[in-house]
Structure 1
Amino acid sequence: MAPKKIIIDTDPGVDDILALLLALSASSEELEVALVSLTFGNIGVEECLRNAVSMFHILHMERQWRIEKGMEPGFSALERCKPVLAVGATCPIEDQLLEHDYFHGKDGLQGVHEAEMLAHLHHSPSEAWKHMFASSGTSDDSSFAVLPPNFRPSVIPAYKEILNVLRENEPDSVTIVAVGPLANLALAANEDVETFLRAKEVVVMGGTLNVEGNITPVAEFNQYACSYSAARIYALTSPTPRSTMPPCRELQPYPDQLSRPLKLTIFPLDITTTTLLSLETFDQVTKLVLSPESPENGSPLAQWVRYFVARTFDVIKDTLEGERDRDRFLALHDPLCIWYVLTSETGEWTINENVDVRVEVDGQWTRGMSVVDKRTKIKELDETKPLKDSDRGAWLHVTTGNRVRVAVDLRDRETFGADMLRRIFLTTKSTNALA
């Protein structure tokens, strides 16, 4: 069976990096990561690029270290296909004011680059990599004197690379996993919506339906950061996108008739904030590849990840001062989306179909809010019959309203964190040691 081909659209902070590592740690029979497209979000896009290049640099070091130790190198998805790495949107659609979420630190990884320079760990690549992404009008590999060993840099904007991947592959063969603000996806759909609809599925980490927001009382960060983009992507699930799509000065309206609706599956805070990782679990797994006596001689990847994960737990501890210790966990927002792609056929997931989720774009207090019609008296209308006065407030009609798939549960949610870490850090040899 051919591997599942995916695009990952991301703003690499802490859980984004874990999601990328989970995808790249898959076997070459499971996944093929065709493209990693970068967007602003938790941090600016330049910091996102630095973090992504650093991750690929560390993965090269990790594979070499494992081979030297007589272990399987792992990350075989990288052997099958070197992902394209492309820089995308630098700001929200409609110039919406955005304050970055510095929960992840100002560099997105809790200051890991500065710490490494001070400690002379040499895990961060030199600044020479920046020229690889400078616009020169071509993305031909021959334009680069020295290519990185495990990714392909692009000088083309990320949204155009998304469309390139979709054009180059058969319809329904590429899944887009978006774990940051959706500006790159909105730009791609704006340029060529029918090519965008060739995607097999779009999987989004974003929104909150029945729990409090994490950036405002009612909004999740990704949806708040670029609410117009989210609203436009959600609208593509509707039989009539204009019925739910807000007017936007920067982007064109969609055509009245599209070839088909978008299959969109969202992972709101309702499920991601209940999928947790403890520091104890992180320590239990990574200690197998980090010697307590000389951790600097252990896994380069575990050293690197341990720095920013441990400091993220410190931030959580400070934020929850006075709360119970058992409440101090890292929510695995973004990795959960990758896990869904890997396991969607296993029967582990509970998905609610055809939920009419709409995104508020301009509200003074409600920007980025997921709005769902929870009224029980409003029935789905028959498009063949004229609307009655009593029907005027109905949202979901045969030809209107969004049809979003909402992830609500994972059967083995309690063990997901440990399963993810084992995939990322442990080879067969070290997995046997764990047992």
Structure 2
Amino acid sequence: MNELNDTGSPAEGSQGHDIARHQPSRRSFLRTSLAASLATLGVTGAGSAFAELTSTDGATRLAADGSPRRTVIIDCDPGQDDAIAILFALGAHDQIDLKALTTVGGNVPLNLTERNARIVRDWADKTQTLPVYAGCPKPLMRELITAANVHGRSGLDGVTLHEPRGPLEKQHAVTYLIDTLRAAAPGSVTLVGIGPLTNIATALTAAPEGAKALREIVIMGGAWYQRGNITPAAEFNIYVDPEAASIVLGAGVPVTVVPRDVSVKAPITPERIVPLRALKNRCGPIVADIMAAEVAYQKGRIGVESAPMYDPCTVAYLIDPTMFGGRRVNVAVETTGLLTLGETVVDWNGRSKRPANAMWLTDVDADRFYDTLLARISRLP
């Protein structure tokens, strides 16, 4: 998740993996993708798994469901805030069983996002146990827009990087997602999407039967009250691949959206960095350095000593949903607008009569969030 972003060239890296066996042809795939992306704009089939909007005023505090440890896959584009989110999830190993990281072109090109994911797992001593899969290098129908000016050329500005100690998995991330969901029990897997949603959308389009395995998709993306951070109307992750976001929101599976509306309510401040820097482990000071770099960027850009806390809010939601408030609403993505491309259109008052297709988070207890982050990072090496 990012503020002002640059356009970059999509990088293929060494990820020329073949997923053609899951797609009859590019033409038929795009035809299917377009149909799915438009489904969220109509009533038929969109959000059929959800209850109708039941309230039009106020936000409800979310309740913990008492479920056991979640099986989680994080789809990401590291990215400073992605790195913190991954470490956060690894520190919550009693609640989150993180099976894999799948990477996508986003904050920086794919050859850097997969490299950064492998570096982050090294920091947590998960080199041999947490696989990393590289996925789509560019959006479904557009050229890649990156945020290298925000995250640095490496994507992880603010920290010293080493050469990854473990290899990248040979399987394409989309193939991994398809195979994993096909083999999983119904309602057993949570996908966390904290970059452009290209990998997830491609998997759900190529093998829609895999949706049965999903307990929930939790995405960091979109904006309503806070509006955009890449254009006046759009948030970065959605703007980069609006067609993919529309497919995911129209897939008929439980979706929770953690938008900018929430991220700005848990800002990173110098005071909140101090306890993390004081930790005596390796990962605490690394997280502190990343957060300090994010604050420094905002100070240089707009003169404030704080920064939105984006991707880690998705992990906090998995750990303790009671620190968040929100409501089920219909969310559609603008895929054709000249000035509003990538806008998330939230039907907060039920005016469209379209059924709810997402839980849209609106509030967060910031102090509890940072207490939880500190506690989980303190468990890491």
Query: Which structure 1 segments of 5+ residues have no match?
Result: 61-77, 117-122, 134-153, 237-260, 290-298, 379-394, 431-435
CA distance in structure 1 between the aligned counterparts of 2:119 and 2:237, rounded to whole angstroms: 23
Match of 2:85 among 19, 23, 47: 19
CA distance in structure 1 between the aligned counterparts of 2:145 and 2:282, rounded to whole angstroms: 35
Offset, 1:285: 3.1
Offset, 1:374: 5.6
1:214-246: CA deviation from partner (whole Å, max 9, x where unpaired): 11101000000000000111112xxxxxxxxxx
2:102 matched to which residue of 1? 37
2:317 matched to which residue of 1? 340
Q: Secondary structure at the match of 1:93?
A: coil
Indicate if the aligned counterparts of 2:182 and 2:209 stay in contact, CA closer than 8 A: no
2:232 matched to which residue of 1? 217
2:335 matched to which residue of 1? 361
Equivalent runs, 1:243-392 vs 2, <5 Å: 261-289=252-280, 299-321=281-303, 323=304, 328-344=305-321, 347-353=322-328, 355-373=329-347, 378=351
1:396 matched to which residue of 2? 353
Letter in 1 for 2:283: L
Distance 1:219 1:57, change over 3 A: same
CA distance in structure 2 between the aligned counterparts of 1:104 and 1:287, rounded to whole angstroms: 24
Match of 2:362 among 385, 408, 432: 408
Distance 1:178 1:374, change over 3 A: closer
1:195 matched to which residue of 2? 210
Q: Secondary structure at the match of 1:309?
A: helix
Matched, 1:91 2:138: yes
Indicate if the aligned counterparts of 1:282 and 1:418 stay in contact, CA closer than 8 A: no
CA distance in structure 1 between the aligned counterparts of 2:377 and 2:186, rounded to whole angstroms: 30
Distance 1:288 1:32, change over 3 A: closer
Matched, 1:159 2:158: no
Query: Which structure 2 segments of 5+ residues have no match?
Result: 1-66
Q: Secondary structure at the match of 1:351?
A: strand
* Seq. identity, %: 27
Offset, 1:165: 2.0
Offset, 1:375: 6.4
Offset, 1:415: 3.3
Question: Normalised by the size of structure 2, how large is the TM-score?
Answer: 0.76
RCO comparison, higher one (Cα < 8 Å, 6+): 2
Match of 2:115 among 30, 35, 50: 50
1:22-43: CA deviation from partner (whole Å, max 9, x where unpaired): 100113x311111211011111
Offset, 1:93: 0.8
Indicate if the aligned counterparts of 1:227 and 1:359 stay in contact, CA closer than 8 A: yes
Structure with the greater alpha carbon radius of gyration: 1
RMSD of aligned residue pairs (Cα, Å): 2.4
Matched, 1:124 2:162: yes
1:158-211: CA deviation from partner (whole Å, max 9, x where unpaired): 111112222232111111111110000111011111213420100111101122
1:402-425: CA deviation from partner (whole Å, max 9, x where unpaired): 522111223x32331243023203
Distance 1:301 1:97, change over 3 A: closer
Distance 1:374 1:337, change over 3 A: closer
Letter in 2 for 1:333: Y
CA distance in structure 2 between the aligned counterparts of 1:10 and 1:46, rounded to whole angstroms: 13
Distance 1:266 1:288, change over 3 A: closer
